A = this chain, B = another copy of it.
Amino acid sequence: MIGRLNHVGIAVPSIEDAKATYRDLYGVPADAITETKELPAQGVKFAFVNLANSQIELIEPLGADSPINNFLEKNPKGGQHHVCFEVADIYAARDDMVVRGAKVLNEPRIGAHGTPIIFVHPKDSNGVLIELMEMPKAAHG
């Protein structure tokens, strides 16, 4: 089953402008907002706003083929794009989704947190695009 709500993904035309919203309007300390990085394989730039219990993931299109371009054409100012839940094992989760009749959109691939992820089609979750993310393994001392 799903565990923590890892993050809410918000697609924006400009990550730098969106960082300013969380910093200047909502008072998130600058050091709680991560540097912007690129994930060329997924056609996105991203940064995280770290809250006490979860994260906002800001995503901006990277390249003409970015899967976010279509979303921003429909929502030019940006908007909520997906919700990400943690799972213990991404392959087990993928198999569960398939057995239960949901449409998995990709083979497990490495996501923004460095662990494998899948996306489940919005039609299977009341119109919401769901990301499932294998939780990072605990560090061993």
Residues of B within 8 A of A29 (CB): 1
- Which residue of chain B has the shortest Cβ distance to A81 in the bound complex? B80
Known contacts being A52-B3, A52-B4, A122-B77, is A27 close to B96, with CB within 8 Å? yes
Q: Which of B53, B76, B85, B96 makes the CB contact (< 8 A) with A4? A: B53
Q: Please choose the segment from A34-42, A106-114, A123-131 that sits at the chain B interface, where 4 or more of its residues have CB less than 8 A away.
A: A123-131
CB pair A79–B28 under 8 Å, yes or no, is: no
- 4 closest Cβ contacts across the A-B interface? A1-B27, A80-B80, A77-B127, A78-B127
Other than the given A4-B53, A56-B83, 15 more pairs (CB < 8 A) read A1-B27, A2-B51, A3-B52, A5-B52, A10-B128, A21-B124, A26-B130, A53-B53, A54-B54, A77-B126, A78-B126, A78-B127, A78-B128, A80-B80, A80-B128
